[in-house]
Structure 1
Amino acid sequence: MKGRNMTRWRDPAKDPRQEPKSHLITAEGAERLRGILDHLSRVKRPALSAKVGEAAALGDRSENADYTHNKKELNRVIARIRYLTKRLDELTVVDRLPADTGRVYFGAFVTLEDEEGEEMRIRIVGHDEIAPDKRWISVDSPLARALLGKPLDEEVTVAAPGGETSYVITEIEYRDPTQ
């Protein structure tokens, strides 16, 4: 039987998606998630509920595309609200600087130099804040794991799909979360 709902079987013990994710988030990331939750709860959900009510009042729901679409959208928003509420309850907000700002820890902006002399600036953030366009990587990623606890000018080797890559930490910077 083939179809779009068929997936490849994965051994749960070896599936990277089953690895426990850290429950850390920066203060600004938590604020952003709370803002999204507030917008969905106060603005989007009531607006969609009103649209569903208006479409339901038109009569036959089985052939009412407006009702069907808005009902699906409302269910999606409700599921997202439920997920964000649960996720915010289990997250730990890191709202202070580490004691040793000369080492790489959660929330750090790290400038790395590779073997060819190319520089790359990344930030180590929580799983919910990943932004590839800004080069914000998860604290659970292999590169972040290799960097955690390392001091300035330390060489770090990371296993990459194309082979091992070495980086030198050239700068470590933190933003004060209280500002």
Structure 2
Amino acid sequence: MSVAFAKEESAEAASETILPARPISDRINLVTAAGFKMLQDELARAQQALKAANMLDDVNERRRQSAVPVRDMRYYAERVRTAQLMPVPASNQVVAFGHTVAFERDDGRTQTFRIVGEDEANPSQASISHGSPVALALIGKTVGDVVLLGQRELEILSIS
């Protein structure tokens, strides 16, 4: 095999194994206790995947299999490092990080979401990031307050 083919193969393998970093928001990394545990679990899962990839004999396959775990380890290590664990809100008087808020939209729909950290937010599971437009509109408000979200109104029904 000529050197040209070896270099081409090495360049191809290298490009497959260097993934761009997962984007990290510049927003403060607030987390609930469950969110912090999730970050730690994901970091451990990435470390295990890298360990398994490093057991492979074929160097090119090892590089390919370790690319995602290496990227994920960097991301989750940084998220764990910068996490600010927030206590459970002491009062349900004013909407804050960690609260579950029920509100009615001006079209009559009622929705309930828990305000959590970015990594644990999942609107389909009734949780939204503290940096989402809805959370930003609700934080600091009380039951009965009507807030504007764009051209829409939301009335806070309950805080728990």
Indicate the TM-score class for this superposition, using the shorter chain for normalisation.
0.7 to 0.9
The aligned counterpart of 2:132 is: 141
User: Per-residue displacement from partner, 1:3-28 (whole Å, max 9, x unpaired)?
Assistant: xxxxxxxxxxxxxx997312101110
Q: Find out whether 1:86 has 2:78 as its counterpart.
A: yes
SS in 2 for 1:129: coil
Find 1:107's aligned residue among 98, 106, 113: 98
Q: How does 1:115-134 map to 2 (within 5 A)?
A: 115-134=106-125
RMSD of equivalent CA atoms: 1.9
Q: What is the CA–CA distance in structure 2 between the aligned matches of 1:82 and 1:19, rounded to whole Å?
A: 14
User: Could you state the TM-score of these two structures normalised by the residue count of structure 2?
Assistant: 0.78
Letter in 2 for 1:38: A
Residue 73 of structure 1: how far off its partner (Å): 2.6
Q: How does 1:30-179 map to 2 (within 5 A)?
A: 30-41=36-47, 43-51=48-56, 54-56=57-59, 67-68=60-61, 70-94=62-86, 96-159=87-150, 164-173=151-160
SS in 1 for 2:123: coil
Find 2:28's aligned residue among 22, 31, 36: 22
Q: What is the CA–CA distance in structure 1 between the aligned matches of 2:153 and 2:24, rounded to whole Å?
A: 28
Q: What is the CA–CA distance in structure 2 between the aligned matches of 1:82 and 1:115, rounded to whole Å?
A: 43
Return closer, same or farther for 1:86/1:132 CA change in 2, 3 Å cut-off. same
Q: What is the CA–CA distance in structure 2 between the aligned matches of 1:47 and 1:19, rounded to whole Å?
A: 29
User: Could you state the TM-score of these two structures normalised by the residue count of structure 1?
Assistant: 0.70
Q: What is the CA–CA distance in structure 1 between the aligned matches of 2:51 and 2:88, rounded to whole Å?
A: 39
* Structure with the higher helix share, 1 or 2: 2
Residue 141 of structure 1: how far off its partner (Å): 1.5
Letter in 2 for 1:92: Q
Among the aligned pairs, what percent are the same residue? 27
Structure 2 runs not aligned, ≥5 long: 1-22
Q: What is the CA–CA distance in structure 2 between the aligned matches of 1:116 and 1:92, rounded to whole Å?
A: 36
Q: What is the CA–CA distance in structure 1 between the aligned matches of 2:24 and 2:46, rounded to whole Å?
A: 28
Structure 1 runs not aligned, ≥5 long: 1-16, 57-66, 174-179
> In the comparison of the two structures, how many residue pairs are matched?
138
Q: What is the CA–CA distance in structure 1 between the aligned matches of 2:146 and 2:119, rounded to whole Å?
A: 28
Return closer, same or farther for 1:18/1:82 CA change in 2, 3 Å cut-off. closer
User: Per-residue displacement from partner, 1:70-91 (whole Å, max 9, x unpaired)?
Assistant: 4123022112112211221111
User: Per-residue displacement from partner, 1:132-176 (whole Å, max 9, x unpaired)?
Assistant: 2113211111211111110111111111xxxx1101111111xxx
Q: Which runs of 4+ in 1 moved over 6 A?
A: none
Q: What is the CA–CA distance in structure 1 between the aligned matches of 2:91 and 2:55, rounded to whole Å?
A: 53
Q: What is the CA–CA distance in structure 1 between the aligned matches of 2:24 and 2:117, rounded to whole Å?
A: 17
